[in-house]
Amino acid sequence: MKIWLDGELVDESQAKISVFDHGLLYGDGVFEGLRFYHRRVFRLEQHIDRLIDSAKAILLNLPWTHEEICRATCETVKANGLDDGYIRLVVTRGRGELGLNPYLCPKPSMFIIASTITLYPEEKYREGMALATCATRRPAPAALMPQVKSLNYLNNVMAKVEAIQAGALEGVMLNEQGYVAECTGDNIFLIRKGVLYTPPVSDGSLDGITRQVILELAPQLGIQAVEKSITRYDIFTADEVFLTGSAAEVIPASSLDRRVIGDGRMGPWTGKFMEAFRELTRTTGAPID
């Protein structure tokens, strides 16, 4: 496997960063997860826009332009000879002195991995998967803006642990007010009485790229989309629930806290969104070659 590291494509065994890198020491950095299909990177421009915005938000000055990052991403995929897969793009604060001061890190580091991924079992895309409510809350905007895709992901990791211990594949995370924010790695949508609902980003959700795609597809499919605060009650009483994410794509949820959602199977609207999303990934994207 070839890894893009600070301007060079190197073998996986040579892709190393310093133990003094603040991304490792303090989780100081940002990242993006992207998908590519049929040798085209899906929504590449939007992902790199969000990466740059995350970096700006934490005062991480990138020495690479938007165009250079896009080009490096495509070069990495091409170097690994893959047609379909997943990209992890990481920018760290870089090597520095011990201590929190980021100004002691003169140069950030960036690496790009292109590989395959199977986030959830294939049968869950047909049957739906179980969700569990997590006690761990999403960070409040006063602590760290939810729109920043930070390397400090321990909050999400611990929520994921809770979900797994509860016998679920994914966990629903609430904000401090008790409203649903998102899942540990995915955005959440529900359908009730022919209307599509999803939490607003102001409730603590990441403005996911796949989330944006679903909101774009909704009017094309003939369903009203509403961003509003939702509760666990809304999920319990929904006709359908599905999750979205770059790695997860579109996947139905069959239960929350062992309470069946709808009839416990993938609903018709979820199927329509899944197919429309897959068609979009088959026909659009930034060409790798």
Residues that are catalytic: 149
Residue 116 and residue 153 in contact, taking contact as beta carbons nearer than 8 Å: no
Q: What residue type is assigned to position 76 of the chain? A: T
Helices (H), 80-135: 124-127
Phi/psi at 198 (nearest 5 deg)?
A: -150, 145
The Cα 239–Cα 194 span in angstroms is 9
The token pair that represents 112 in the structure block: 């790009």
The Cα 229–Cα 181 span in angstroms is 8
8 alpha-carbon distance from chain centroid: 26
| Residue 244 C-beta-side C-alpha neighbours within 13 Å | 24
Residue 198 and residue 187 in contact, taking contact as beta carbons nearer than 8 Å: yes
